[in-house]
Amino acid sequence: MEEAGHWSDFFLGELGAAAALAGFVMVAASINLQRILEFPQLPGRAGEILIMLVGALLASSGALIPGQPLHVFGYEIVAVALFVTLPPLWIQLRTLIRVKNQPVHWWLWRLLIVFAVGVPMFVGGTLLIGGHASGVYWVAASVLAIFVATVWNAWVLLVEILR
């Protein structure tokens, strides 16, 4: 991504943060695995978190490929945007069909999180494909949104589940 190479420090930091958070989520899930499995909606929620973190890892890794044209990075980001949006939506749809006793606002929050992560990633990728380096700002916003969503959801899996 030579045109936006000044972003390499940011994405290198985000790559490390995403890897650390993925480890944290795995520990949180393993500590409370039995309790998580008692609630039919929580395994999918854990899966959504991991999918989003893998998306942050992929986006950050793609940004660090040396000499990569901006539009190629854009196609990678659009693919990541689809990856962080479509599987979580599928997980939520499957769970919604099976679990009917959750308040609607819980589902709306999860849906909002998916779109808060996926839409900026998609916009950023589209801008990058069009040759606009400003798309990197959208990608960065999406990666940061992934971290907020991950910490919030990890808190639910680690602490709130025990209440």
pLDDT tens per residue, range 60-101: 999 999 889 999 999 999 999 999 999 999 999 998 888 878
Q: Which of 39, 124, 50 is nearest to 87 (CA)?
A: 50
Predicted confidence at residue 85, as pLDDT, reads 97
**E-assigned strand segments in the chain:** none
* Per-residue pLDDT at 30: 87
What confidence category does residue 1 fall into, taking pLDDT thresholds of 50, 70 and 90? low
pLDDT value of position 77: 98
- Cα–Cα distance measured from residue 71 to residue 91, given in angstroms and rounded to the nearest whole number: 31
Residue that the structure tokens 């999860």 belong to: 110
pLDDT score, position 5: 60
Q: What percent of the chain lies above the pLDDT cut of 90?
A: 56
